[in-house]
Structure 1
Amino acid sequence: MTNQASPIATFLRPLRPRDPEEHHRAATPLELFFDLVSVIAIASAAAGLHHAISENHASEGVITFLIAFFAIWWAWMNFTWFSSAYDNDDVVYRLLTMILMAGSLTMAAGIQFLFTAAPDLTMVIFGYVVMRIAMVVLWLRAAYHDPVGRKTNLAYAIGIFLVQIYWVIYLTTQSVSTGLGQALWVVGALLELAVPTIAEPLSGNTPWHRHHIIERYGLLNIIVLGETLLAGSIALRQFAGELNLMLVHTALSALVIVFALWWAYFARQEHLGSHTLSRALQWGYGHFFIFASGAAVGGGFAALVDIITHHSDVPLLVGDYAVAIPVAIYYASLWFVRDRFACRGFSRYALLIFGLLGLVAPAIGLGLEGIAATTALGVIVRNWLAGRGESATHISH
């Protein structure tokens, strides 16, 4: 007779730690589904930034975009690291993950109300708190079933819960458009960021899987860069039947830039070469700027299309910088999380230098094509020099 798991065992299994050295660990269909839901919220934030730039409210739009993106990214990140350490794929785990998805969709629906003259925080904070309370339940389950990591898991649960009380109180202010409201939001963000730094050392790092985490971050980055590809396709659709060379250049530049950003991220050098807490925090937190800038590039391209097609009165130079600035931040962030550890010599700084050159290009009249050229050259030079450095290392050994 074959042994079959009981219905109760399938519904509710112990949430024990996964093996951090497990072979062939890969993203699960549930994790990919969760990413798909998260990107809906990311697309909403990028769309809000696009319209803010087109309507000549770039500074307010950037602040609102960062606020919305932080909520999306932080909820995604905490679940991603938790699932790497404790995913047991029972029915309760799946249901709690679906609650997280429902919260993310609620946030996505509410983001449009942030990009208004009188921002309404209700749906975004409500959706965010729903996601975080679901995480509290998951951390409590892990604490119950993992005696070794109990102190860390309980610290996560308590810390997350206390910060959600702060956000509910913050909701009563209903203001992210004032200096005080923005300062209070920064306090809440810092409290969220502090929870892992306090919780992780209590009983040792949670048993996250290094290759699994690298894969999860890479997959989200691919989805985020898809926003820029979408902006390029919008440019192509705008001139159906009517040739507009500026839109052709914009679409081609979008392709060059997004391909270069992808290539720069997925280089041969190791992304996260250590399990140490300080390195993991720098790498994990630093990706906020990679993901946010990647999404912002798409918003910048969409705003540029509005300018070219005369749907916006913003100067063309503003549209160019709406692309150049996030590209430079993307390259600088890659230097921060990877290249300063993985490269040596000039290759370590190549992305930084070419990102800065991309900022100069619009100012000297090279426009979007100049940005695309410096972005592509940055990848070519960086990878060529890094490859030579690897060859020299292999020869010396």
Structure 2
Amino acid sequence: MSTSTPDADDLHHHARRMGGRDPHEAHRSATPLELLFDLTFVISFGFAASRFAHALAEGHYAVALLGFAFASFAICWAWINFSWFSSAYDTDDWLFRLLTMAQMAGVLVLAIGLPRMFASLEDNDGRVDNTVMVLGYVIMRIALVLQWLRAAKQDPARRRVCLTYAVAIVLAQIGWTATLFVDLPAAAMFVFICTLVLTELAGPVLAERKDGGTPWHAHHIVERHGLFAIIALGEGVVGTVATLSAVVDTQGWTLDTALVCAAGVGLTFGMWWIYYILPSAHVLREHRERSFVWGYSQMAIVTAIVATGAGLHVAAYYLEHKAHIGAFAVLLTTAIPVSVFIGSIYALYYYLVRRFDPFHLWLLLLTAAVVAAAVVAALAGVRMSVCLCILTLAPVVTVVGYEVRGHRHEAESLARGEAGHPAL
């Protein structure tokens, strides 16, 4: 077997024409640069989850939910902006690499601003201090707009699409920057922020529906989102173990500590298994128009994953006697995001496959019964760690159902879609 030797031109990262990648390129996978970029989000999710868990443990639910929702959108949207552009226009030349580095710096600035934003919500003065977060976005978006302008210049066939992206990003950033200088009542500011979020979400829809959109790669972008979900899952494992280590240092190993640790690993593994049941790449390759709902749903899924990790943090705080809420509330901090995650996966599966499967209804009912059992056990005074172990069985229901029968149903649905059946 012979292998071709790369020439000097292949090894040099000189400037290349940004003409768009082949959306059907074989063996397209995540690049080392994309993986390096993802590492900055480990820090961002770590800050967001720790502050969210702390607010929940203190019983400050409004602060926790508002702050975490704002932080999660900012983190996910920053990642999406880069990753979808990279799927369509990654040249891996020196200019693309440097502008990516600038975006990484912006993500780190965004992460630094997360604790400050949560602290401002705790102050109850009606103002959200997002100054550092906005600065991080300014850094990221200067680099990203330059990328889109470069693509507009070097890919004439998609010039209008690229310029639409650039204009939408600039307009949205002007709006976010304006929040630093306008002094609006809390309700008015909330409406203004919601309007900016809708503007952000509408930008890609408007751009992609003009002139055929950008040449993003279905299998590549599905892999990228999968890696992003793994980063979110990793936060749950790392954060929980880090917090439990403090408990072990002071109290030694106890049955509760061991059970919470087992529940954390079990939930993380089960959620990972369920996530990869989705036939995302297969469907998006044939139906690119479904990418908007699929991509935006990923933000809810990733947010639920990180929230589950934060709930496990709260459980560790409870064992350390640092939580100011009861065992029932502690269980809910994990049970609710797990339920949202599983429900979102089923809803997205149905959206992709477009075929109702009665078997899924039975799985959902059984899953709900498991979650209800954990909640009832907590209300009955069963140890919180035991209740978490019961909750760990919730994703197991789907895993077992898929491996026993669900995989055949999925194969049938996809086969009917390929044959022109309305299922796809």
- Report the TM-score when normalising by structure 2: 0.86
Q: 1:91 to 1:394 in 2, by over 3 A?
A: closer
Q: How many angstroms apart in 1 are the aligned matches of 2:32 and 2:414?
A: 38
Q: How many angstroms apart in 2 are the aligned matches of 1:277 and 1:132?
A: 26
Bigger mean CA deviation after superposition, 126-135 or 314-323:
126-135
Q: 1:165 to 1:311 in 2, by over 3 A?
A: same
Shift of 1:331: 1.0
Q: Residues 41-97 of structure 1: CA distance to partner in whole angstroms, max 9, x if unpaired? A: 111111110111111112221111110111111111021111011000111111110
Q: Which amino acid aligns with 1:133?
A: I
- For 1:365, the equivalent position in structure 2 comes to 377
Shift of 1:245: 1.5
- For 1:67, the equivalent position in structure 2 comes to 70
Q: Which amino acid aligns with 2:216?
A: W
Q: How many angstroms apart in 1 are the aligned matches of 2:33 and 2:131?
A: 28
Q: Which amino acid aligns with 1:372?
A: T
Q: Which amino acid aligns with 1:274?
A: L
Q: How many angstroms apart in 1 are the aligned matches of 2:158 and 2:366?
A: 44
SS of the residue corresponding to residue 112 of structure 1 reads: helix
- For 2:25, the equivalent position in structure 1 comes to 22
- For 1:356, the equivalent position in structure 2 comes to 368
SS of the residue corresponding to residue 197 of structure 2 reads: helix
Q: Which of 297, 303, 311 is the equivalent residue of 1:300?
A: 311
SS of the residue corresponding to residue 274 of structure 1 reads: helix
- For 2:205, the equivalent position in structure 1 comes to 197
SS of the residue corresponding to residue 239 of structure 1 reads: helix
- For 2:381, the equivalent position in structure 1 comes to none
Verify the 8 A CA contact 2:42 2:235 in the aligned structure 1.
Answer: no
Is 1:262 aligned to residue 265 of structure 2? no
Bigger mean CA deviation after superposition, 323-332 or 165-174:
165-174
Unaligned runs of at least 5 residues, structure 1 = none
Verify the 8 A CA contact 2:109 2:132 in the aligned structure 1.
Answer: yes
Q: 1:89 to 1:247 in 2, by over 3 A?
A: same
SS of the residue corresponding to residue 310 of structure 1 reads: coil
Q: How many angstroms apart in 1 are the aligned matches of 2:283 and 2:370?
A: 29
Shift of 1:234: 3.3
Q: Which of 344, 364, 368 is the equivalent residue of 1:333?
A: 344
Is 1:221 aligned to residue 232 of structure 2? no
Shift of 1:5: 4.2
Q: Which amino acid aligns with 1:282?
A: V
Q: How many angstroms apart in 1 are the aligned matches of 2:53 and 2:366?
A: 25
- For 2:296, the equivalent position in structure 1 comes to 285
* Matched-pair identity in %: 34
SS of the residue corresponding to residue 348 of structure 2 reads: helix
Verify the 8 A CA contact 1:19 1:207 in the aligned structure 2.
Answer: yes
Is 1:85 aligned to residue 88 of structure 2? yes
- Count, aligned residues: 394
- For 2:3, the equivalent position in structure 1 comes to none
SS of the residue corresponding to residue 156 of structure 2 reads: coil
Q: How many angstroms apart in 1 are the aligned matches of 2:7 and 2:394?
A: 61
Q: How many angstroms apart in 2 are the aligned matches of 1:269 and 1:6?
A: 35
Bigger mean CA deviation after superposition, 355-364 or 95-104:
355-364
Shift of 1:360: 1.9
Shift of 1:267: 2.2
- For 1:106, the equivalent position in structure 2 comes to 109
Verify the 8 A CA contact 1:335 1:349 in the aligned structure 2.
Answer: no
Shift of 1:356: 3.4
Is 1:377 aligned to residue 386 of structure 2? no
Q: Which runs of 4+ in 1 moved over 6 A?
A: 391-397
